[in-house]
Amino acid sequence: MSLFRNFLSVGSLTLVSRIAGFARDALMAAVLGTGPAADAFFAAFRFPNLFRRLFAEGAFNTAFVPMFSGALEREGEDGAKLLAARIMSWLVVMLFIVTLLAEIFMPQIMLAFVPGFVDDREKFELTVLLTRIMFPYLACMSLMAAYGAILNTLGRFFAAAFAPVLLNIVNIAMLVPLATFWLQAPEQATIWVAIATMGGGIAQLVLVWSAIERSGFRPAFRFPRLDREVRRFWVLAVPAILAGGITQINIFVGTIIASGADNAISVLSYADRLYQLPLGIIGIAIGTVLLPELSRHLKGGRDREARASQDQALFVSMLLTMPAAVALIALAEPIVRVLFERGAFDALATQQTAQALIAFSFGLPAYVLIRVLQPGFFAREDTVTPTIFAGASVAANIAISLWLFPSLLHIGIAVATAASSWLNVILLAATLALRGHFRLTWPQWRAQLAILAISLIMGGALWLLANQGHAHLVNGVPLWRQGGVLAVLVAFGVAVYFTLVHISGTQNLIQLLGRLRRRG
Tell me the pLDDT tens digit for each residue of 150-192: 777 776 767 777 777 777 888 788 778 776 666 667 777 788 8
Q: Is the pLDDT of residue 517 over 60?
A: no
CB 112 within 8 A of CB 43: no
Q: How far is CA 80 from CA 66, 71, 146, 153, 212, in A?
A: 11, 5, 14, 11, 14
Query: CA-CA distance, 41 to 37, in Å (whole number)?
Result: 6
Which long-range CB contacts under 8 A does 452-456 form with residues at least 24 apart?
Answer: 452/322, 454/323, 454/497, 454/500, 454/501, 454/504, 454/506, 455/322, 455/323, 455/325, 455/326, 455/497, 456/326
Least confident of 99-113, 197-211, 316-330, 371-385: 371-385
pLDDT bracket for residue 456 (50, 70, 90): very high
DSSP 492-512: HHHHHHHHHHHHTTS--HHHH
Q: Which residues contact 347 (CB under 8 A, 6 or more apart)?
A: 341, 475
Question: Strand, coil or helix: what is 258?
Answer: helix
- 331-344, pLDDT tens digit by residue? 888 888 887 777 66
Highest mean pLDDT among 271-275, 408-412, 477-481: 408-412
Between 313 and 99, residue with greater pLDDT: 99
3-state SS of 78-129 is HHHHHHHHHHHHHHHHHHHHHHHHHHHCHHHHHHHHCHHHCCCHHHHHHHHH
Amino acid at 496: V
CB 8 within 8 A of CB 516: yes
Which long-range CB contacts under 8 A does 192-198 form with residues at least 24 apart?
Answer: 193/28, 193/31, 193/32, 193/41, 194/41, 194/44, 194/45, 194/130, 194/133, 194/134, 195/133, 196/170, 196/171, 197/45, 197/134, 197/137, 197/167, 197/170, 197/171, 198/133, 198/134, 198/136, 198/137, 198/140
The predicted structure's pLDDT at residue 329: 92
Query: CA-CA distance, 313 to 309, in Å (whole number)?
Result: 6
The predicted structure's pLDDT at residue 62: 65
What percentage of the chain reaches a pLDDT higher than 70?
Answer: 76
Q: Which residues contact 437 (CB under 8 A, 6 or more apart)?
A: 307, 376, 380
Between 423 and 214, residue with greater pLDDT: 423
- 232-251, pLDDT tens digit by residue? 777 766 666 655 555 556 66
Q: Is the pLDDT of residue 401 over 80?
A: yes
Burial class of residue 96 in the structure, from the number of CB atoms within 10 Å of its CB (0-12 exposed, 13-18 middle, 19+ buried):
exposed
- 465-513, pLDDT tens digit by residue? 888 877 777 777 777 787 888 888 889 988 999 889 888 887 777 766 6
pLDDT bracket for residue 282 (50, 70, 90): low
pTM exceeds 0.85: no
Q: How far is CA 2 from CA 16, 166, 300, 518, in A?
A: 21, 27, 17, 6
Amino acid at 329: I
DSSP 470: G
Least confident of 13-17, 42-46, 204-208: 13-17
The predicted structure's pLDDT at residue 296: 64
CB 219 within 8 A of CB 88: yes
Between 361 and 293, residue with greater pLDDT: 361
Query: CA-CA distance, 187 to 195, in Å (whole number)?
Result: 13
**446: number of Cβ within 10 Å:** 13
Query: CA-CA distance, 244 to 225, in Å (whole number)?
Result: 25
pLDDT bracket for residue 520 (50, 70, 90): very low
- How large is the average pLDDT for residues 407-418? 86
pLDDT bracket for residue 210 (50, 70, 90): confident
The predicted structure's pLDDT at residue 367: 84
Q: Is the pLDDT of residue 21 over 50?
A: yes
Q: Is the pLDDT of residue 135 over 70?
A: yes
Query: CA-CA distance, 354 to 374, in Å (whole number)?
Result: 30
Helix and strand numbers, DSSP H then E, in the chain: 22, 0
The predicted structure's pLDDT at residue 453: 93
Amino acid at 471: A
Sign of CA dihedral 284, 56, 398, 126: positive
The predicted structure's pLDDT at residue 362: 92
Between 207 and 26, residue with greater pLDDT: 207
Residues in the chain: 520
Highest mean pLDDT among 81-90, 303-312, 390-399: 390-399
CB 397 within 8 A of CB 250: yes
Query: CA-CA distance, 122 to 344, in Å (whole number)?
Result: 20
- How large is the average pLDDT for residues 207-219? 78
Highest mean pLDDT among 50-64, 152-166, 213-227, 424-438: 424-438
Average pLDDT, whole number, for the chain?
Answer: 77
Query: CA-CA distance, 320 to 287, in Å (whole number)?
Result: 14
Burial 30-64 (b: 16+ CB within 10 A, else e): bbbbbbbbbbbbbbbbbbbbbbbbbbbbbbbbbbb
Please compute Rg for the chain using Cα positions.
22
Q: Which of 487, 488, 418, 502 is nearest to 454 (CA)?
A: 502
